[in-house]
Structure 1
Amino acid sequence: MNSQITTPATEFVRRFSSTRRGASSARKVALGQLDAWGVPHGSERSDAAALVVAELAANAVLHGHVPGREFELRLVLGTVLRIEVTDTRAERLPSRPNPEAVGGCAESGRGLLLVAALAMAWGVEERVPGKTVWAEVGV
């Protein structure tokens, strides 16, 4: 008889195509993984995480796209949920959003404002090749 105690995985990593479809898939897969970890679909925590994943994945596709390269989604569940999206384009680092710079009629530029509002913390880490944009949300 095996007496080892197993615990559910608390880390998830997957690569997605650097396309709109890939960004959409990342959000859906993240929701499924969170549900498997006990963060149910439709809960406030799940909805916040889904928005953060969607924004970071969309930014990776829009601003971090390198032809033929994928982006990576990493979720780590601990005392907080750490969401990381890594792309291979290092020269386009995001900057802290400035609410005054995003006018009422602007068609873009609000994504990181949303991430900053939903996350306890967020940032950017350079890596070779590329960068990782991360956010931590409460669970």
Structure 2
Amino acid sequence: MMRLWILPVLLVLCGSAFATGLVFAGSSGTATTVLVAFLALAGVNSPLIFPRSTGAREAQRSSAVDGRPVVFWRPGCTYCIRLRIRLGRSAGRLHWVNIWRDPAGAAAVRAANGGNETVPTVVVAGRPHTNPDPEWVRAQLSPSA
């Protein structure tokens, strides 16, 4: 669990240190802007932005029952963040698997991507799709799909 928070904590600490230096240099407005930017980056990279992750086996079983896609992701991945943000509220309807926390999920991603852990990998109806367009993923959630 601590591994998930390393990057966000480092971003907050670095931003705080940088902003403190700017305050002592007399640039309080710039310091505020820098601190807000670092806090935003920390928030985007925190585990709070993604829905609760499940294990790969559990996600695949649930997907077989309800037909919803499985998204394999990892913290800090800019493409995963882009997918999550662009999906908006629809993201909660997907099954999310953090490959850093689930070895079976990492193995599934490597099997789908020629040995590489390329994420996001979205599995729809048993077929993997690497870094798909968020609009396409949203379309897979519609009842008519």
Same fold (TM over 0.5): no
| Structure with greater proportional helix content | 2
What is the TM-score of this pair, normalised by structure 2?
Answer: 0.30
| Structure with greater proportional strand content | 1
1 or 2 for the larger relative contact order (CA 8 Å, sep ≥6)?
A: 1
What is the TM-score of this pair, normalised by structure 1?
Answer: 0.31
- Tell which structure's C-alpha radius of gyration is larger: 2
